Amino acid sequence: MPNSTFKVIVTRKLPNTVEARLKELFDVEFSQNDIPLNRSELVTAMQRADVLVPTLNDNIDASVLAESGNQLKLLANYGSGVDHIDVEAAHERGILVSNSPTVSSSDTADMTIALILAVMRRFKEGSNVMESGDWQGWAPSAFLGTRVAGKTIGILGMGRIGTALAERARAFGLNVCYHNRKKVHPDTETRLNADYYENFHEMLSKIDILATCCPLSVETHHILDSKALSFMKPSAVVVNTARGALIDEAALENALLKGSLAAAGLDVLATGKNVNKTLCELPNVMLLPHMGSATQEARHEMGETVILNIKMHQDGHRPPNMCIPKF
């Protein structure tokens, strides 16, 4: 029987299998709809919960944490990134933060490859013509894209997702280089035949495709700004499946409009659901609604990881997927 003195509150609708398992194990309260809680609702939930299960739409900053209840001891995030949570402020209040970091790596890497193919082979333009009814039949010079094999991909962030992407990139005949805080293990570099660039801007001048796979932080916010974009080839493409704020969206828009960048594929946007209308209308930009981890398998496994983190905490142990404050 669930412990009625141990309260778990979930802020969004989760997959049915995940909710059913949570209900079996805990005294759990689910959101009655699938829209983000407003600030007042979020504070109220945090004042009543022992464990809160937030998602990336829940902005849990220091001011929100200051109003949380004394019983709140764990933020068991449903998702990998925790840039929406002030981990340091939570730590100062004795609140642990955990995430579900590994389960969606392959799915996000798959989505990145899909976006690369989409923008380099002009899928959006072809699909638009077919759906409009204006297609006049096959023509030898119509919708000429760019061959993927033989090109060079630069991966920003060679963590789990970046490594999974590099594996797929090699299968598509791409040359791989990467920029990271530090070099990966030599065995990994050898296996992927990946070249390390300590200088991000130097890498940008060498590549045909930039794929962003790093977390959002103070250091990486707008890392792809107008200066960085100026180092890229006019024939290059940018694909972002990580966090929207890694890219200065105004600078990206300007580069695309003036032709100093060939195309972009974006699964995340700096403005969240307020989509940039210019980017929507550009034929060489493919936009997706944050679908990188949107597989049934990944979302179920994310839930299982959240449950494991909660259960370990309830049993008096540190959650296995702890997010450690940087300070």
In CATH terms, the superfamily for domain 3-103+295-314 is NAD(P)-binding Rossmann-like Domain (3.40.50.720)
Q: The domain 105-287: what is its CATH number? A: 3.40.50.720
CA angle 202, 207, 209 (to 5 degrees): 130
Total length of the chain: 327
How do residues 248-300 score in pLDDT, each as one tens digit?
Answer: 999 999 999 999 999 999 999 987 778 899 999 999 999 999 999 999 999 99
For residues 303-308, average pLDDT: 96
Q: What is the pTM of this model?
A: 0.90
How do residues 102-155 score in pLDDT, each as one tens digit?
Answer: 777 999 999 999 999 999 999 999 999 999 999 999 999 999 999 999 999 999
Residue 94 scores a pLDDT above 60: yes
Cα distances from 278 to residues 119, 254, 275, in angstroms, run 16, 10, 9
Where does CATH 3.40.50.720 sit in the chain?
Answer: 3-103+295-314, 105-287
Report the C-alpha gap between 306 and 300 in whole angstroms: 10
Residue 316 scores a pLDDT above 80: yes
